[in-house]
Chain A
Amino acid sequence: MATYEAAFLTQKCNLPTRTIKFEIWDTAGQERFASLAPMYYRNAQAALVVYDLTKPTSLIKAKHWVAELQRQASPGIVIALVGNKLDLCSDAGADAGDDEDGSGDSGDARKVPTEESKAYAEEEGLLFFETSAKTGHNVSDVFTAIANAIPETSLKSARGPGAASGAAGRNEEQRVNLGGPRNADSKEGCAC
């Protein structure tokens, strides 16, 4: 099933010293034929590249996207590599492990060893997690880690080329508002 209902969502993440509001843009399948628009790259301060722990080819594709991001996105981008469907792996973390004791090898669909991806992530300087979107395992940790990894200084700055050199704050007073605030507060989702 492709992602076509999820286009854009927001999520709040509470850190001890600050609260961060994420705007999350799903690539809506445009990644399938390597046809992402620049709007994704330059708006992004962080990227989540997700592969399927039960499909080795998905890690190969994920690596392609990491390389693409390193080439195209703004230099300071935080990239998190995430192996998903941990619930299908018998060596899974807490959630999956707890509720299946007799599953044994037959229940283990893992095809990508943790060590392999972890080593790759370390080499490339990526955050690395294994998650289950089904059980929610580790999902909030991914967002917390991203929030922690984004330098405080870049938080309020303008996005895109030259963002680091700071056109800070000007954005808001410049933006022409065609119809109410861009994201009304009442519409915030919060899964953190």
Chain B
Amino acid sequence: MESLSDTLWDVVICGTGLQQSLLALSLSRSGKKILHIDPKEYYGGPDAALSLEEAQRWQAEHASASATASSIFNSATILQSPEPANLPSRSYSLALSTQIIHTRSALLSQLVSSRAYRQIEFLSVGSFYVFKPSSDAQIPPTLSRIPSTREDVFSTTAIPARAKRSLMKFLKFVLDYDSESNAEVWRSHADEPLTTFLASQFSLDNELQAYVLALTMSLDQNVVTRDGLAVINRHLTSMGVFGPGFAAVYPKWGGLSEVAQVACRAGAVGGGIYILGTGIEKVVDQAEVDEPVEVVLSSGTTVKTTWLVLGTEDQPEAGAEQISRLVAVVTSPLASLFEVSVEAAPAPAVAVIAYPPGSVITKDGIASEQPVYVYAHSSDTGECPIGQSVLYFTTRTCPLAKALLEAALESLLTALESPQCLYQLYYQQSHGSTSIQSKGTLVHLPAPSLNLAFDDSTLESIHEAWKMVMDGKREDIDEEYMVFADREGEILAIKSKARVCTTHFISIPSDAA
């Protein structure tokens, strides 16, 4: 093999976050020479899933309180951790930016058309709950399941008949919210808070408003009608696409981190060279516009490339919105959260719990002003050992965010028969740039979105970067984007001898014997 510095690379990609990795996947059949590096020792960048050891190192690197540091992550603290020897570090994969993926997301169709999906195990996201505090200290708080299909609303006993009719009417409206007649109903309220709209147009009471608001997955209590309706519509129309009872999926072993790994593997299978633990020291100014870019790697090697694609996870936008996250590992399977609620539905591995504003109260008696969301992950996600669960809390950053998330954790544990907590990691994540930026052949992909559900607009910048690199002036080039044939078919043509290569890993599917 030619050495790294002798090769004229077509593309050097720095960072293995979801976006850079999907770009590598999209280029994996292009025949281009690709060098893909990451300054971190693990795949996934800001979308990584970390073992406890890795999380400890990560925390130390992101402990700084300043949001203007050289990362979109800051203020990381491990609030609770047992003796390391007591927890097998590798049995945990804690996801830094957990997002669920709606079944109608273009990410899934791209993973299917690029054939990468075969290496990913998708699990279903089951019930959504609303947290209900208890006014009596003797009675634990409760979780009430949100009925999100019409059948569900019919059968629930938690809602009085009249309220059911209003909720039903609203759900029917959202399913078709863009039709001429329905749009007329909401257009004039488009920029009002959704809650106001729900009260005025559908006479939904506070409780039903909380149900509906939870489905928006918005961290903003005042999410406007236009945005809220779009998200609820996406949720409802995603129901049942890949099977009954779920609107979203989650990749086993750490969510988007797994997608990034599989995408990078596709890049490697396509001939791309992968080096972890190596970043960029310096980009040498080009003498001429048409000259290749010279890049000095942190290993000291200088490489030459036509295109250089970077992420922006090291460039937080000053003063931009931030979110606060708390990741907690608890010693209970939390089985009640993962019950199958619809006949023939796959057993869910993820549950969503929304805390309406005001329902979380800190030790000092201060109530939350914004919603708090929790993703509960069962051990089926592979993120913790059997018998345990991982809880991912998210809220908008405010001076009390940490105290509020700790209080939310505590009250959730009370509602769930008080399992023990083993481990807690708190951190803040800020917005980076939201659009792709390019200067000559230097391309910056935007930072990950702070949404709780995967945002399809993320895919646009990857497609754009692909087009630049492919010099996509051809009319029909978009038809080739992420559309590949199966590789398996190709290899099996060479079936005379088993190929024996450097290192192979073997796993036996459960339908083996």
B346 touches A47 (CB 8 A): no
B119 within 8 A of partner (CB): yes
B90 touches A29 (CB 8 A): no
A174 touches B347 (CB 8 A): yes
Partner of A9, one of B246, B386, B492: B492
Which positions 17-35 of chain A face chain B at CB distance < 8 Å? 18-35
A27 touches B507 (CB 8 A): no
Which positions 161-183 of chain A face chain B at CB distance < 8 Å? 161-162, 165, 167-179, 182-183
Q: List residues of chain A with CB within 8 A of the CB of B501.
A: 3, 6, 26-27, 50
Specify which of B90, B500, B506, B513 lies most central, judged by the most chain A CB atoms within 10 Å of its CB.
Answer: B506
Which positions 231-245 of chain B face chain A at CB distance < 8 Å? 242-243
A60 to B491 CA separation, bound complex (whole angstroms):
29
Assess A178 versus B111: contact at CB under 8 Å? Given A8-B487, A50-B502. yes
The smallest C-beta distance from A72 to any residue of chain B, in angstroms, reads 7
B171 within 8 A of partner (CB): no
Q: List residues of chain B with CB within 8 A of the CB of A8.
A: 118-119, 487-488, 491
B268 touches A28 (CB 8 A): yes
A38 within 8 A of partner (CB): yes
Specify the chain B residue showing the minimal Cβ separation from A168: B510
B337 within 8 A of partner (CB): no
A157 within 8 A of partner (CB): yes
A160 to B277 CA separation, bound complex (whole angstroms):
25
A111 within 8 A of partner (CB): no
A20 to B266 CA separation, bound complex (whole angstroms):
26
A42 touches B379 (CB 8 A): no
Which positions 100-145 of chain A face chain B at CB distance < 8 Å? 131, 133-134, 136, 139-140, 142-143
A59 within 8 A of partner (CB): no
The interface on chain B, measured as residues whose beta carbon lies within 8 A of the other chain's beta carbons, has a size of 75
Q: List residues of chain B with CB within 8 A of the CB of A42.
A: 253, 382
A33 to B277 CA separation, bound complex (whole angstroms):
9
The interface on chain A, measured as residues whose beta carbon lies within 8 A of the other chain's beta carbons, has a size of 87
B491 touches A29 (CB 8 A): no
A52 to B269 CA separation, bound complex (whole angstroms):
21
A92 within 8 A of partner (CB): no
Q: List residues of chain B with CB within 8 A of the CB of A6.
A: 491, 494, 499, 501
| Interface segment out of the listed B121-129, B145-153, B216-224 | B121-129
A24 to B503 CA separation, bound complex (whole angstroms):
10
Q: List residues of chain B with CB within 8 A of the CB of A89.
A: none
The smallest C-beta distance from A169 to any residue of chain B, in angstroms, reads 7
A176 to B278 CA separation, bound complex (whole angstroms):
36
A residues adjacent to B (C-beta < 8 A): 2-11, 18-50, 65, 72, 82, 84, 131, 133-134, 136, 139-140, 142-143, 146, 150, 155-162, 165, 167-179, 182-183, 187-192
B residues adjacent to A (C-beta < 8 A): 1, 42-43, 88, 90-93, 108, 111-112, 117-119, 121-124, 242-243, 246, 249, 253, 258, 261-262, 264-266, 268-271, 273-278, 346-347, 349, 379-380, 382, 384-386, 486-492, 494-513
Q: Which 3 A-B pairs have the closest CB atoms?
A: A161-B91, A44-B505, A28-B268
